[in-house]
Amino acid sequence: MRYPSAPVISLVSGVWLGSCAVFAAPLDEPLKPLPATPVLDASRVELGRRLFNETRLSINNTLSCASCHHLDKGGADDKPFSLGFDGKPVALNTPTVFNASLNFKQFWSARVDTLEAQIQQVVTSPAEMGNDWKTVVATLAAAPEYQRAFSLAYPDGVTAANVQNALATYERTLITPNSRFDQYLLGNTDVLSYDEKQGYLRFKEYGCIACHQGVNIGGNMYQKFGVIKDYFEARGNPIEADLGRYLVTLDEDDRHVFKVPSLRNVAVTAPYFHDSSAKTLEEAVDVMFEYQLGRTPSADDKTRITLFLKTLTGEWEGKPL
């Protein structure tokens, strides 16, 4: 009797040699794959999800977290500047909420350490939700559905700290694993094309990795915008928000210094930079080379780096962003 042939297995290496992709051991690289989505208290995660979409967090019941952080648009806003509760644009481009829990600090100016503190400020910001926590707590406590949900999740019910914690708990689940680059780091070396691999190599060789590093490929350090050339003089029309961490510390060394943004899902979070000045990923790469690196790459190198950056797009709820 003739049996169907099986894929050939190397008894020495244990690697499939048939039509399947070749998987090696995880690669030893300076960039690391995303961790698994944490398993957190289910009642708090669900409550946080509801609060994330709750417009009653804003003073006039018009704005929720999801109004500016669109989970179907990379966790950011495709507008240059999101609109606050009063319909006026805010001063800074909205960063993505995806993988934000992996950043070492929050906001462009890195002015708070935790997601809870970030939520506390957004709700009370006169440019964003314009509310106060006494009103928020009273509003939610008066709603039977929230009375039940908070009593299940927290022994002390509806409090400002619990609202902030529930939202932060939900946001800690907003991890986007399984990008093609993460698959590559985990050993599936066939998942990237030759040009994408060359783009990663150029990303390291040109020095992009000096700032965009670690598990979030950024989000773990400060850097001046305009290391080599004065970006703000070239752009013109300076505004207060351009001062970055200087507004937090009043230290001249922090003028124009910002938290380095994560590059995860960067291909789906345009426009770019705190001022939304780069409308495309290609424009953003050009700006980085001119003002941060002071180098002139070949057209092929820029193309390959851009292709590499597109491999950083992960998945949310099992689907590519």
Residue ranges of the binding site for heme c: 65, 68-69, 208, 211-212, 288
Nearest to 274 by CA among 245, 254, 300: 245
Do β-strands 257-259 and 315-316 pair in parallel, antiparallel, or remain unpaired?
unpaired
Identity at 198, one-letter amino acid code: Q
Instruction: Tell the burial category of 298 from Cβ atoms under 10 Å away from its Cβ (0-12, 13-18, 19+).
Output: exposed
- Report the C-alpha dihedral over residues 33, 35, 36, 38, rounded to 10 degrees: -160
Residues carrying an active site annotation? 128
C-alpha span between 302 and 199 (Å, rounded): 8
Distances (CA, A) of 247 to 241, 252, 291, 303: 8, 10, 22, 36
Residue whose structure tokens are 């022994």: 155
- Residue 269 CA to residue 306 CA, distance in Å, equals 14
User: Alpha-carbon distance 321 to 318, whole Å?
Assistant: 9
Burial 142-163 (b: 16+ CB within 10 A, else e): eeeebeebbeebbeebbebebb
Q: How many distinct helices (H) and strands (E) make up the chain?
A: 12, 4
Given CA atoms 141, 142, 145, 147 in this order, what sign does their dihedral have? positive
List all residues 6 or more positions away from 182 whose beta carbon is below 8 Å from its beta carbon: 33, 34, 314
Query: CB atoms < 10 A from the CB of 39, how many?
Result: 8
Give the tokens for residue 15.
Answer: 């690697």
